[in-house]
Amino acid sequence: MRSGNVNVAIARPPIAIRLSRRTLSIVLLAAAAALGLSLWALTLGEFPLSVADVVRAIAQEVAGPAEFIVGTVRMPRVLVALGVGFGLAASGAIFQGLVRNPLVSPDIIGVNAGASLAAVFFIVTRGPMALVPLAAFVGALAAAFGVYALSWRSGITGDRLVLVGIGINALATAATTFLIVRFPIEVVASAEQWLAGTLYGRGWEHVAYIGYALVLLVPLAMWLSSRLRSLQLGDDVAGSLGVRPEASRVLLIVVGSALAAAAVAAAGPIGFVALIVPHIARMLVGSFTAGVLLVTGILGGIVVLLADVVAQNAFLPITVPAGVVTAAIGAPYFMFLLYRSHHRI
């Protein structure tokens, strides 16, 4: 690691990251905030605990109810929330940077809806539950390439991709609704709960799944960040810099779709995180870089975890899915973005 007045460079082949000191500071602050929020979330519930109790339970210095509640019930839910938020936000940043349109995100252009359709199909047809994450991945990828193919007219424009994506999203959502009403209620009950975007009942197997996905996909996304920045300068400039535009777009679509699919498979379609969080990250640290991708992902984890805390505790004696909270905040923000974009035309 070499630090100067402005930048800090981290080189571990095949990935080289150059962070401004501001970006590095925000990464560290966001990570500290995520840790603090996680500890707080672990104290909340029907069996309240102190932070000291949580720390002792994590360190396995105590036995009994506290260790079970923290280690088996609350910790997996917190870690899945952080991982899902990271995946959704990073996916949103990739798609927004790829088409240079702030209205693009995997839940707006049908990627999440494609994952949901495939996953619900497996659930209601009593397919192997172990294949649900794979089905979500295939569905997300199919939706993403469908949008890409239908949007292509000697290139991709953000407005056209948004319009085609909204159509694909509507089509996949309609197909999912058909499956829900077509099958008996006892079959679709679990699918309905999953579609709401919930972290209820998440265990260590979900932590392992989202963790493995992020370990594989985040380094790939960071490696592709320089290609994305080149594409933002235009295909001709990118080509002169040695970047193959179409091959790079395909790779970015695969990685962005896979990040969204992994998050959706782990917790269902938690809406608007992929839309809102990249805007917050850009306001804090600027245009897309590998460092900004890290900031975006950590902030996404904070948003999803905070939404889950609100969903569990703000409406007692009932609890609501985290996706309801993010939608309540994200839908008005999306309307604001549409209004602002309309007045810029």
Dump pLDDT digits (tens) for 178-209: 999 888 887 788 788 778 888 887 888 889 98
**Contact status, residue 265 vs residue 136, Cβ threshold 8 Å:** yes
In a domain, residue 67? The reply is: yes
Q: Once rounded to an integer, what is the mean pLDDT over residues 310-321?
A: 84
**299 residue type, one letter:** L
Dump pLDDT digits (tens) for 27-64: 999 999 999 999 999 998 888 888 888 888 888 766 67
């339970």: which residue's tokens? 57
In a domain, residue 136? The reply is: yes
Give me the sign of the Cα torsion angle 233, 9, 212, 102.
Answer: negative
pTM over cut 0.75: yes
The least confident of 116-120, 203-207, 212-216, 332-336 is 332-336
Q: Once rounded to an integer, what is the mean pLDDT over residues 60-71?
A: 76
Q: Degrees (nearest 5) of the Cα angle 16, 19, 25?
A: 140
Phi/psi of residue 18, each to 5°?
-120, 115
Nearest to 22 by CA among 219, 281, 274, 223: 281
In a domain, residue 85? The reply is: yes
- CATH of residue 192: 1.10.3470.10
**290 residue type, one letter:** A
Dump pLDDT digits (tens) for 75-121: 999 999 999 999 999 999 999 888 887 778 888 888 889 988 998 89
In a domain, residue 17? The reply is: no
In a domain, residue 121? The reply is: yes
Task: Please give the tally of structural domains in the chain.
Answer: 1
The pLDDT assigned to 3 comes to: 41
Two tokens, residue 193: 């709960």
In a domain, residue 157? The reply is: yes
154 pLDDT higher than 90: no
Two tokens, residue 56: 């002792």
In a domain, residue 49? The reply is: yes
Contacts of 131 (CB under 8 A, 6+ apart): 122
**Mean pLDDT of all residues in the chain?**
84
In a domain, residue 60? The reply is: yes
4 pLDDT higher than 60: no
Helix, strand, or coil here: 58? helix
**Enclosing domain of residue 160:** 23-344
């040695």: which residue's tokens? 242
Higher pLDDT, 237 or 4: 237
Q: Once rounded to an integer, what is the mean pLDDT over residues 317-338?
A: 82
Annotate 48-66 with b (16+ C-beta within 10 A) or e (fewer): ebeeebbebbeeeeeeeeb
8 in the Ramachandran plot: left (φ > 0), alpha (ψ -120 to 50) or beta? beta
Percentage, residues of the chain above pLDDT 90: 27
The pLDDT assigned to 315 comes to: 79
